[in-house]
Amino acid sequence: MKNSLANSSRGQLKIQQMAFVLVAFMILLGLVAVFFVSIRTSTLRSDAGTIKQENAQELVRKLSGTPEFAWTGDDCASCVDFDKVMALRNRTSYQNFWGNSISLVQVKRIYPLFGNEDDECTLGNYPNCGKVTLIDRKKSYTSQDAFVALCHFEPQGAYTKCELGKIVLGVTGE
């Protein structure tokens, strides 16, 4: 009788031990799962941010295809007519053309640079200048840019010349 009682109590102890080990193991697995999920979530968040930024870049790039910017000399989707952009400068009718949320519209030359990249283009220094600002509302904004080819007619030599540039768009609010 005593012997069977002792055996039963030892069996219960064993089951208890097993239960503790299982619980500990499950907690360990849970911690690993939480760690893994948190890493995956942060990667997903960063991927979502990148996709959002790339969509914005595609939108900025679409500007180069609008009649105000498009180079119509050749069949070139990425070409912007720098002469046209220069002509748009200081036009008050274009100040609200792209909507009130657009605080900055700028076309910048990237390569080659003549002097300072921040040299604003004027009738005096064009085309050997750094940038043309079409709109600058002097507000805080989130900027997005996209590479384009800046094409213009080169009067010395009478040919068209394309250089590397960027369209920069500043958006206020969301």
Partner 1 sequence: MKNTRGQEEIVGFVAVVVLIAVVALVFLAFSLRSPIEKRESVTIAQFLESAQEYTTECALRFVPDYARLEELFGACREGKTCVNGEDTCDVLNQTVKALVEAGLRPGADRPLKGYEFQAVYLANVSLEGGEAIIPPLRFGNCSSSLVQRGVSDFRPSGTGAIRITLETC
By the rule CB under 8 A, 28 interacts with partner 1: yes
- C-alpha to C-alpha distance for 45 and 87, rounded to whole angstroms: 42
By the rule CB under 8 A, 155 interacts with partner 1: no
Which residue do the tokens 């904004």 mark? 141
Select from 86, 151, 169, 171 the one that contacts partner 1 (CB under 8 A): 151
Handedness of CA 70, 71, 72, 76 (dihedral sign): negative
- CA 21 to centroid of chain Cα atoms: 50
Handedness of CA 129, 104, 82, 94 (dihedral sign): negative
Select from 57, 133, 142, 172 the one that contacts partner 1 (CB under 8 A): 57
By the rule CB under 8 A, 63 interacts with partner 1: no
By the rule CB under 8 A, 76 interacts with partner 1: yes
Three-class secondary structure assignment of 51-79: HHHHHHHHHHHHHHHCCCCECCCCCCCCE
Residue 138 sits at φ, ψ, to 5 deg, of: 55, 35
By the rule CB under 8 A, 18 interacts with partner 1: no
Between 57 and 142, CB nearer to partner 1: 57
By the rule CB under 8 A, 70 interacts with partner 1: no
Select from 129, 132, 148, 169 the one that contacts partner 1 (CB under 8 A): 148
Instruction: Give residues 86-145 in contact with partner 1 (rule: CB under 8 A).
Output: 110-113
- With CB under 8 A, what is the number of residues at the site for partner 1? 31
Between 15 and 96, CB nearer to partner 1: 15
CA–CA distance from 127 to each of 80, 153, 168 (Å)? 14, 10, 18
Give residues in contact with partner 1 (CB under 8 A).
Answer: 17, 21, 28, 50, 54, 57-58, 61, 76-79, 110-113, 146-149, 151, 154, 157-165
